[in-house]
């Protein structure tokens, strides 16, 4: 499938990932504008900016979020630089990104390859807060080791949302290791590699995945120890673990096509070192994935609740997971929720996870302390959300 055909009509799975992006960028930009630090936003594979059917692509979605936040923000010293990198369609992109001048926003369309431009752009913003949206046409430009090499410290923060075609990777891994792999019909209908990848070798696959763990997964598949679906999930988990070498919190959710509700089309990875960002993204992903499932079912609500992997949610299983990772020392609520989502995936939304934590307090497993412990009216505090003035501390019950 050519990239020209790709932009003919915006597919349901593209709407899901762009909805996740847009829902996150609005609070992201608004929050960061309060810190008076320059922001660098980079759409690394921007495409045309708009689909032929009139639907906005990720560049216009991001600009809408930026414009909205700059308009309502009351903070001074606002500065956002937005880069849109595109190799094949940068002329169309330039035409589609003709927007009204927005104070405090600078836009640059970069015609060329992501790999050839990203280091120069980042070097030009050594102290900015950076967000990268990485949505490539195939897998060749993905590079987990490189993504983990981007500098982050007290004065520079890098956050990423990455679309990773794990099925495309699995297909190429089977080809390289000469393992017979016939795509299931449900996968074959929508697995699209927009760039030929037949020249990828073993070392490049290791670079893309961030390690050689994929070799054993493919060998286990060859020996019929695991199914192709299990292999894809193990690949996603291995990629997550590679990202965790640099990023404190890594969220990993599958996005499915509108033709199949079991097998994911690709994976979205969110990488951040910030508690609040992780928690906001986890709730957005959980909500948007479930909305996508509902759309695929024609608006029919299921009497059962499922996690983002498509498995039936289980209250007892989730409560056991909470117990399994509960630390021996005290921990604040927000980082604990983020650690849960990073360890187990988005089993449920944070609201329900908090309800399970409250149940575990009632059952005597843990103790919840709040600061301040009293309301302004002198009543005992019951809040279960944290901000600058409110803390929720979790301790294992003695």
Q: What are the residue ranges spanned by the domains of the chain?
A: 3-296, 315-396
- CATH number of the domain located at residue range(s) 3-296 in this protein: 3.40.50
pLDDT means per 10 residues, the chain with 398 residues, are 60 84 94 87 94 88 92 77 94 85 87 95 92 92 92 77 92 92 61 60 96 97 93 96 95 74 81 95 91 62 60 85 94 97 92 96 96 94 94 93
pLDDT recorded at residue 98: 75
- Per-residue model confidence (pLDDT) at position 80: 93
Structure tokens at 90: 């940068």
Q: Are 34 and 74 in contact (CB under 8 A)?
A: no
Q: For position 314, what pLDDT does the model report?
A: 82
Q: What is the CATH number of domain 315-396?
A: 1.10.10
């Amino acid at each position: 499938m050519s990239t020209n055909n790709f932009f003919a009509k915006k597919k349901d799975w593209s709407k899901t990932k762009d909805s996740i992006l847009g829902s996150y960028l609005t609070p992201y930009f608004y929050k960061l504008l309060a810190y008076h630090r320059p922001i660098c936003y980079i759409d690394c594979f921007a495409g045309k900016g708009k689909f032929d059917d009139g639907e906005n692509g990720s560049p216009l979605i991001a600009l809408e979020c930026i414009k909205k936040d700059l308009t309502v923000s009351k903070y001074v010293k606002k500065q956002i630089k937005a880069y849109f990198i595109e190799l094949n369609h940068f002329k169309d992109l330039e035409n589609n990104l003709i927007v009204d001048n927005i104070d405090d926003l600078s836009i640059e369309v970069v015609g060329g390859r992501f790999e050839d431009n990203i280091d120069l752009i980042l070097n030009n913003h050594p102290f900015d807060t950076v967000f990268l949206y990485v949505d490539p046409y195939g897998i060749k430009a993905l590079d987990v080791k490189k993504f983990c090499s981007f500098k982050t410290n007290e004065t520079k923060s890098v956050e990423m949302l990455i679309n990773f075609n794990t099925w495309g990777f699995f297909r190429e891994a089977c080809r390289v290791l000469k393992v017979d792999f016939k795509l299931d019909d449900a996968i074959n209908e929508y697995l699209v590699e927009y760039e030929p990848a037949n020249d990828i070798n073993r070392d490049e696959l290791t670079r893309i995945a961030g390690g050689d763990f994929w070799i054993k997964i493919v060998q286990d598949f060859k020996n019929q120890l695991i199914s192709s679906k299990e292999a894809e999930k193990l690949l996603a988990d291995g990629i997550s673990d590679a990202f965790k070498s640099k990023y404190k919190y890594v969220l990993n959710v599958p996005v499915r096509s509108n033709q199949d509700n079991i097998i994911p089309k690709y994976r979205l990875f969110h990488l951040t070192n910030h508690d609040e960002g992780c928690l906001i993204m986890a709730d957005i992903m959980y909500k948007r994935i479930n909305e996508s499932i509902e759309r695929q079912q024609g608006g029919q609500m299921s009497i059962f609740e499922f996690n983002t992997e498509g498995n039936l949610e289980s209250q007892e299983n989730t409560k056991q997971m909470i117990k399994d990772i509960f630390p021996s020392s005290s921990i604040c609520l927000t980082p604990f929720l983020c650690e849960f989502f990073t360890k187990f995936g988005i089993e449920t939304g944070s609201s329900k996870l908090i309800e399970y934590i409250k149940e575990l307090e009632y059952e005597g497993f843990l103790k919840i302390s709040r600061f301040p412990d009293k309301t302004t009216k002198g009543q005992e505090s019951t809040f279960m959300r944290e901000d600058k003035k409110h803390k929720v501390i979790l301790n294992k019950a003695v």
